[in-house]
Each structure stands twice: as C-alpha cells, then as structure tokens.
Amino acid sequence: MKLSTWNVNSLTARLQHVLDWTAANPVDVLCLQELKLTDDKFPLDAIRAAGYPHCAVFGQKTYNGVAIMSREPLHEIVRNISGYADEHSRVIAATLASPAGELRLVNGYFVNGQALGTPKFDYKMSWLRGLRDYLREELALHERLMLLGDFNIVPEDRDSFDPEGLRETIHHTTEERDHFRRLLELGLVDSFRLFEQPEKSYSWWDYRMLGYPKNRGLRIDHILVSDSLKLQVKACTIDRAPRKWEKPSDHAPVIVEI
DNA sequence: ATGACGCATCGAATGCGA
C-alpha cells in the first residue's frame, strides 16, 4: 500500500498535474495541501474518474485548504485541530483500512511563520502546540497513525541546501526544530530517515533564482509514522519528476510504502 | 538588496508563500 503527500500550490492550477502524477504513480492515498479553493470548487468528478472515489475535503478561498484522496473508503473524518480554534483550513484527518489494520491519517498544512519575532511566527508556535496536544489524543485512540503534509520545518541541517547561511531563519529556527522533535517524542518517526537516502534530498525549491536547477531546496514535506507502524514501512521516497514539468508546484510529492 | 517567481484576488497592485 502506498500513501503520499503533495503541496500542489493551487489545485485549480495543478489539477492536470495531479491527474498525470497519479496515473503514473497509482498510489492508494494522496494527501493534498494548499488547495486554494472552496469545497464546492473541488474537482470531485475528475478525481473520482482518476480512481479516487473517496475524498475528504477541507477547502478555503484563496489560501490554505487540505484534502485526502483515497481509493478505499474514509471514515471518522475530522476537519481542523480538535481543541484548537483556527480560522485557516489546515488539517483534515480520516481513518481507513490498511494491510496492517485500521490506519489513522492526519494531513496537515503547517503554518509558514514568515520570520522569527513576527505575529505569524507566534501563530506558528501556538498552532504547533495545538497540533501536538491533538496528536497526543489521536495517538491514544489510534495505534497506527500517520502524520503527512507540508510541515514548513527543516528538521536537521542536512535537510537544507544552506544550513549555515539560513541558521535560525524561518523553517530552520531552534523553536521550530524543537517542535518537530516533540512530535517525534509523542511516538512518531520520520519515515524518510528509516532508509538510506541520497545526499541533498529536498522536497521544495524556490521558483526564483533557479532554485530547482541549482538544487537549492529544503526538505519540509514529511511523513511521520507511529512506532507500531515503523516496522511495516518498506520505503519512503521523494519524487522530483513533477518539479521538472511545465508550471510545476514548488513542492514535490513524498511517498511511503507499507 | 525585500527583489526574484507563481498564484489568487471583482480586474491592478498587493498579499502571501518559504
């Protein structure tokens, strides 16, 4: 079974890429972030026709918006972080059957945070605390849980093209990395690092300044799995192929196999 | 260098992303 996550930077602008990518990579689940559209504009028909009849959508106009596309039925769909009031559509959770048993998925578009010392950074910190409290409860209810999405956090120096130059700047701050580590301490593991990976593996590249051709990227899209799932993970990869297509998203999909 | 590039917005200049 293959599950994946992809920040598409507008589903309207990227629908054809989603259809092309799933045709070439017939994953069982695709978690989307940054839909930038309302629920009524979600292209259900096209996505159903592509082999994903089960969709859980939490959209928003202009910004944010997340969804889970699935070949198999989704249950217990929850929008937003329970216990944390948020005006943004950033989190959607659902349960589905997997070979290992019932699997809880939490799909998140984490706050960007702009810069240390700004109100947006404070929002990021409080949002991350809310997410952690929520996940603690979810993990108590669901032994097999997967947290997928655009974390907007570079976990370690090796996940950045310029860890020295960008030290303590957004995505690289100690505060953000502490939050990432605290998520792991809840009983989650970064599935990408369960395997040997090529050096300079990234999931996002700036549109500007030839970011992708120069591989000036960051690894900020992650798939964390709960400890009881750890032994079942067979692979985790980043697919850079769609970043080379015309009018690409600035993010690449991440895929996990269990 | 607060810009570049791309997307969205009642329509052009601006907010936002990372």
Cβ contact A63 with chain B strand, < 7 A: yes
Average pLDDT, stretch A60-89?
A: 97
> pLDDT for A101-122, tens place per residue?
999 999 999 999 999 999 999 9
Q: How far is CA A136 from CA A130, A141, A156, A238, in A?
A: 10, 9, 23, 27
Indicate if A109 belongs to the active site: yes
**pTM for this model (two decimals):** 0.97
Residue A175 CA and nucleotide B16 C1' are separated, in Å, by: 22
Residue A187 CA and nucleotide B7 C1' are separated, in Å, by: 37
What is the predicted pLDDT for the residue at A64?
97
Q: Please identify residues in chain A, positions 115-174, with a C-beta within 7 angstroms of any atom of strand B.
A: 120, 150, 152, 170-171
> pLDDT for A158-209, tens place per residue?
999 999 999 999 999 999 999 999 999 999 999 999 999 999 999 999 999 9
**Residue A49, C-beta contacts closer than 8 angstroms, at least 6 positions apart:** none
Enter the tokens of residue A199.
């050096």
What is the predicted pLDDT for the residue at A73?
98
